[in-house]
Structure 1
């Protein structure tokens, strides 16, 4: 059954992004590894992704090449159907994906120069080489999403799915909790922020006096694009904060902006090139740091909110909606969602240390004292926590774990739908696998039985 091998292509795209080495290329004599409909998969395609597998620190494993080829076959089928269905990906989507990959690869390699040495080519050249492959991957991903986008499960289907499981091997869940938070950011006054504005103005004057923008960005910008000399790649208006977009689309090519502020800090930028509704810029950002006074103001504000909630003058959920400055939880009444299944129940052993420490001594319905913490970007914030419920360790059951079982039932239905789709395409698409891959268990489902017997 194909179902055994189906998975969401979004994970494939992340885990198996193309990554080739000069060494691998020098040893490779290219050939066709598989033909799928009107497209081919080259041995070099497999080697590129196997190189990424090794670059991640994994031990050599030739069987991984079988897995890679199996996934490339499914990708080809999906991307070819995407063309038939007129599913497209924009240049901006491809650029965004490529930029994120490049940033990740630069971090893994320890810098832009080291990565370019490893690749034996410039990042710009490598990005252009990767562009067709990334475009195909994104089309395949969109096609798969189209296939399963309308799938849902009814309560009866959830119950049927659960009753069909082996009741002796149901999972055992550790202690789970529902927790909420209210977050307050320290806010600097205009006077407190002025030193950061002046710092960026100083960098601007250096550039206007002849210093290289890219060099200044590498040295002083506080952003993930700094190793690229602050270059963003082509982006649309909705990619940036509105103040940044307004400036980027207002300037002429080559022009350096005045200092301006967004929620992320103080910036200057220079437009490198326009392309329709996209623009490529390089920029410098300096992020203001909280002062002691701003932290004290934030502490006073959150303690005031906490007092109102503790005294019953306002519910926790109302207070979170009105005052919390974390947009990820503000609109859920302050409740933190489990990122894996998007439910409110979170295993205690998956909480970060600060949250665990804050709620562990609480009884259900209690609130923690306010404490200084950091958000996902590393910025200092004040918060206090609410323990809504605590579920003791238990064996999976419909009453306590309906949301989890519902998600599992939905995923099972998605897998069966994808299996049916691939079975149909297998019957109606010419697929030829190179005889050298006949030994791969992962590829036997794509090989015609008569063909297999003939090759024996």
Structure 2
């Protein structure tokens, strides 16, 4: 709660500063071609930087101005090249940002108090800026859309790396998993559902919802707060929860319903547009020995099928049998959680779940592990069969072992060089003016050096 209060204090003081800035005589911090960047534009983005929980750092304003100069240059070229964005793309981004700000502030009313104007007014104010950002992003994509790397490019990039600068890759493995989770029968769930029904009846009879949540709810994130989840939108909840939360009026209590987490009932406290403030009580069913036995029998049969039937491979078996939604449609292969964007299946062994690492350590490439019971951090249990697809010892980067990774690095390097070359050419052709206050920023030297049209005011 102290951290939350600090965030609110920062939000209030920074937004107050920006409003004061706009009431005073604003000044031009930079000019790019026909685009003007005001000091208040920089202060506004710096305020957002602080609201996100970052420590005060005035030098960040140099980086902000650099980004705004870049954005202006891209947006102006987009007009020439007829690059546009659809209104619904802009609206979606505006709504996404507002949802984040509302959640941080603790509701629309509080945020409007901090902003000193309505949400609708603020959305109208930030929409042009966000539209320009989206256009600049699209223009950057156009500049790089034809960039690709050939085998020659990859080798040239790798050969240019000094040998003493080659990165060392840790020992890595590619692991597949088929996971079978224990499921309860209706009869096994009945006791838990009846318990939740009895708690709901007590609330309906007049007992305090918050006290019951603190005593009985098994949601570690909200029980101590009386079940209060604060404001959220549909994307923040699982579909069964959203279905209940967004069809009730303020004060109404939902029936008991089930999600992957257990049995709940909730109460809507307040509804504001596409944001709803709710509290809930959650009771998680205990996994029974019978349910574990059923899961064990099922995974044993899958293991027997894989071991004795060459007509089905691991990938197909994972898609058909596995309960793990994150891997079953990826051939059962686990992804490197530290590099999700690249969707790489190469995982350093020091990043593996210790339970998985212990099993994999004794496996040979191409082999299956016997079914074993695993426990997740949240306490959920499941039986897994592991498949070791590949194992690479720690080594210096080389083309034979690391071609996919070096290809990605070579592509990223070529991408950056293409953008840099484009900017270098456009900067020399474009009028640039920067306020003397920012001329000492190292990031901005490239905007004025070797540019006959660039100057300080």
Q: Higher relative CO (CA 8 A, sep ≥ 6), structure 1 or 2?
A: 1
**Alignment gaps of 5+ in structure 1:** 1-16, 107-111
1:182 equivalent in alignment to 2:181:
no
Structure 1 equivalent of residue 4 of structure 2: none
Distance 2:429 2:222 in 1: 46
Distance 1:207 1:258 in 2: 12
What's the TM-score, normalizing by structure 2? Answer: 0.72
| Residues 38-437 of structure 1 mapped to structure 2, 5 A cutoff | 38-42=36-40, 44-45=43-44, 47-48=46-47, 51=50, 55-56=53-54, 62-75=58-71, 85-88=84-87, 89=89, 93-99=93-99, 122=110, 125=113, 128=119, 136=129, 140=133, 143-144=136-137, 147-148=140-141, 150-151=145-146, 153-156=148-151, 158-159=153-154, 161-163=156-158, 165-168=160-163, 169-205=165-201, 207-209=203-205, 220=217, 222=219, 229-235=228-234, 241-247=238-244, 250-251=247-248, 255-269=252-266, 272-273=270-271, 275=273, 278=274, 280=276, 282=278, 284=280, 286=282, 288-293=284-289, 294-312=291-309, 314-339=312-337, 340=339, 341-375=342-376, 379-420=380-421, 422-423=423-424, 426=427, 432-437=433-438
Deviations 1:359-401 (A, max 9, x none): 1121212223433334576633222321111122333233322
Distance 1:315 1:287 in 2: 39
Query: Residues 235 and 318 from structure 1, CA distance in 2 versus in 1: closer, same or farther, beyond 3 angstroms?
Result: closer
RMSD (Å) for aligned C-alpha atoms: 4.5
Distance 1:96 1:249 in 2: 18
8 Å CA contact retained: 2:90, 2:130: no
8 Å CA contact retained: 1:41, 1:72: no
Note the C-alpha offset of 1:148. Answer: 2.4
Distance 2:421 2:209 in 1: 54
Distance 2:385 2:294 in 1: 15
Note the C-alpha offset of 1:439. Answer: 0.4
Note the C-alpha offset of 1:428. Answer: 7.5
Distance 1:210 1:268 in 2: 15
Note the C-alpha offset of 1:431. Answer: 5.2
Q: Which protein has the larger Cα radius of gyration, Structure 1 or Structure 2?
A: 2
Q: Kindly tell me the number of residue pairs found equivalent between the two proteins.
A: 419
What's the TM-score, normalizing by structure 1? Answer: 0.72
**Alignment gaps of 5+ in structure 2:** 1-6
Query: Residues 130 and 352 from structure 1, CA distance in 2 versus in 1: closer, same or farther, beyond 3 angstroms?
Result: farther
Query: Residues 85 and 452 from structure 1, CA distance in 2 versus in 1: closer, same or farther, beyond 3 angstroms?
Result: closer
